[in-house]
Amino acid sequence: MSGELRSSIGALADGTARASADDGGVEPKGTRAMKKILIAVDGSPASTEALEFGLDLAAEEAARALIVHVAPAIDTMPAVGFGMSHGAVVHELTEHDRAPLDEAKAVAGELGVAVTTALLRGPAVRELTAIADEQDVDLIVIGSRGHGALTTALLGSVSLGVLRHTQRPVLIVRGHAAAPAASEEPAPALLA
């Protein structure tokens, strides 16, 4: 895995491991190795980056990886005529819903990481936080498309919703597509 974020996490993990080994092998209270990592996928490029990051982390920590995709519970139908209201029907799971999990299993196979998958239906934030609690995961890894503040305010953000509604650690991987291009000048930093 490459990138400054992974290096920082690796350095922190290495420092923690060395500190506990230097203290006679006794782990400080409140620290433990990761045993289970939940990786949320939706088929987006940011989700793919989060998947690769989470799988690498699971392999490094010898943790079990649980890959989860959440499909909608209800499909809404647009109004088609005068006086017609929007309709809603129960969402039937299709191969399109299973595709992100199939792709994730293929990536995991290429990396040699054994995974468990789950296809859920309902509001994504609620379902992701519920399965994280049910499975007692040590970390939730989720991608972020990096929409601006206005889009996030109007449409919401699954990654921010998960972060707000869980007591578990959450690692949000911002996709490269969301990051500014290398040729762009970074915004000046403001010091307060």
In a domain, 158, yes or no: yes
In a domain, 188, yes or no: no
Query: What is the pTM assigned to this prediction?
Result: 0.72
In a domain, 184, yes or no: no
Most confidently modeled of 31-35, 74-78, 156-160, 182-186? 156-160
In a domain, 117, yes or no: yes
Q: What angle do CA 181, 172, 133 make, to 5 degrees?
A: 165
Within 10 angstroms of residue 40's Cβ, the number of other Cβ atoms is 27
43: left (phi over 0), alpha (psi -120 to 50) or beta: left
In a domain, 105, yes or no: yes
In a domain, 92, yes or no: yes
Higher pLDDT, 128 or 21: 128
pLDDT at residue number 90: 85
Residue 83's pLDDT band, with cuts at 50, 70 and 90, is low
- The CATH number of whichever domain residue 58 belongs to comes to 3.40.50.620
Whether 37 contacts 141, CB under 8 Å: yes
Tell me the percentage of the chain whose pLDDT exceeds 90.
52
Q: Which domain holds residue 137?
A: 32-77+86-176
In a domain, 4, yes or no: no
Which DSSP symbol is given to 176? G
For 159-186, how does the pLDDT look when each residue is reduced to its tens digit (9 = 90+)?
Answer: 989 999 999 999 999 877 544 544 444 4
Residue 57's pLDDT band, with cuts at 50, 70 and 90, is very high
Judged against a pLDDT cut of 80, whether residue 150 lies above it is answered with no
Whether 153 contacts 141, CB under 8 Å: no
Q: Please count the structural domains in the chain.
A: 1
In a domain, 161, yes or no: yes
Residue 75's pLDDT band, with cuts at 50, 70 and 90, is confident
User: What rounded mean pLDDT belongs to the chain?
Assistant: 77
Q: How far apart are CA 127 and CA 122, in angstroms?
A: 6
